[in-house]
């Protein structure tokens, strides 16, 4: 298998690194030169290609990890006529199910398979190769991707046709948003009640309130440090996708309105380069 990688951001770069370590990475590319250079510095024997078009011509699996619907469409605009019949494009971005289904139809006309496979597990999961992968697409194409998924995932499930992976990711992000709201409010209350922070983190994490977000972000939130993690603007984008799906399904969410409003405030306030745990600043 010869795999190419497009998108070397906070999640994509470590995932591509694991693929390189597994001997499956034919080449990588990123729109911004700074991220290409950073990846080359970290993995000096990995091939950085000059363009996505050149990469598309050289691989039988092309993996993408970009930001939004428009980015996915822009990449496909550049590569689709360079992909050989039988190639699989696997998209690890978080986009709308409609965008995934559109990509699937578009590439099927060229006998190219499209698999939507968004991931969850945070930057830490990407770095440690411990991501959960939510997969939609044709079974035959999904089966071909198992060696890739094994390089950076701890679990993956084929959930249905194209778009199913993105629908599942929307469910995941609804949970993420609800937990973040609760944890940030709770730790803001810990501060207001002047309870001992370290003891409270240990007790909360060791009981029924324990969760990934509290474990990975609790200490940094109380230290007012938000430099590593998941950007608020990206979660806001995801939650708007989730809101559209909930509306279509007739689900009246009590979590989404408040979370979307809060993360809109963070983005408008200039927190775009920080972690979503910066939400605690609003709760304070």
Residues annotated as catalytic are: 169
For 167, counting Cβ atoms within 10 Å of its Cβ (0-12 exposed, 13-18 middle, 19+ buried), the class is: buried
d(CA 276, CA 229): 7
User: E strand or H helix at 257, and its extent?
Assistant: helix 256-268
For 261, counting Cβ atoms within 10 Å of its Cβ (0-12 exposed, 13-18 middle, 19+ buried), the class is: exposed
Residue 11 CB neighbours (<10 A) = 24
d(CA 175, CA 131): 17
d(CA 54, CA 63): 14
d(CA 16, CA 24): 9
What lies within 8 Å, CB to CB, of 108 at 6+ separation is: 114
CB 233 within 8 A of CB 267: yes
CB 93 within 8 A of CB 64: yes
Please report, for residues 206, 232, 276, the alpha-carbon distance to residue 281 in angstroms, rounded to integers and kept in the order given.
Answer: 25, 13, 10
What lies within 8 Å, CB to CB, of 39 at 6+ separation is: 8, 13, 16, 17, 28, 30, 46, 48
Which pairing describes strands 25-29 and 3-6: parallel, antiparallel, or unpaired? parallel
């Amino acid at each position: 298998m010869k795999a190419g990688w497009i998108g070397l951001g906070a999640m994509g770069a470590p995932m591509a690194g694991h693929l390189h370590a597994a001997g499956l990475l034919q080449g990588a590319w990123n729109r911004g030169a700074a991220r290409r250079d950073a990846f080359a510095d970290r993995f000096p024997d990995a091939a950085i290609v000059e363009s996505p078009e050149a990469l598309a011509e050289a691989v039988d699996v092309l993996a993408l990890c970009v930001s939004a619907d428009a980015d996915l469409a822009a990449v496909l605009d550049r590569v689709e006529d360079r992909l050989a019949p039988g190639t699989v494009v696997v998209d690890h971005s978080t986009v709308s199910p409609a965008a995934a289904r559109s990509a699937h139809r578009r590439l099927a006309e060229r006998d190219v398979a499209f698999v939507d496979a968004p991931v969850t597990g945070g930057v830490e999961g990407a770095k440690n190769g411990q991501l959960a992968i939510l997969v939609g697409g044709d079974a035959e194409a999904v089966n071909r991707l198992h060696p890739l998924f094994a390089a950076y995932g701890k679990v993956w499930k084929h959930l249905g046709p194209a778009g199913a992976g993105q629908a599942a990711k929307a469910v995941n992000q609804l949970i993420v948003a609800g937990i973040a709201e609760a944890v940030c409010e709770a730790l803001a209350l810990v501060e207001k009640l002047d309870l001992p922070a370290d003891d409270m983190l240990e007790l909360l994490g060791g009981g029924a309130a324990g969760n990934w977000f509290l474990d990975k972000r609790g200490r940094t939130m109380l230290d007012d440090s938000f430099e590593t993690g998941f950007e608020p603007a990206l979660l806001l984008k995801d939650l708007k996708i989730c809101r559209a799906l909930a509306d279509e399904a007739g689900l009246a969410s009590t979590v989404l309105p408040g979370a979307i409003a809060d993360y809109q405030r963070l983005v408008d306030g200039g927190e775009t380069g920080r972690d979503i745990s910066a939400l605690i600043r609003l709760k304070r």
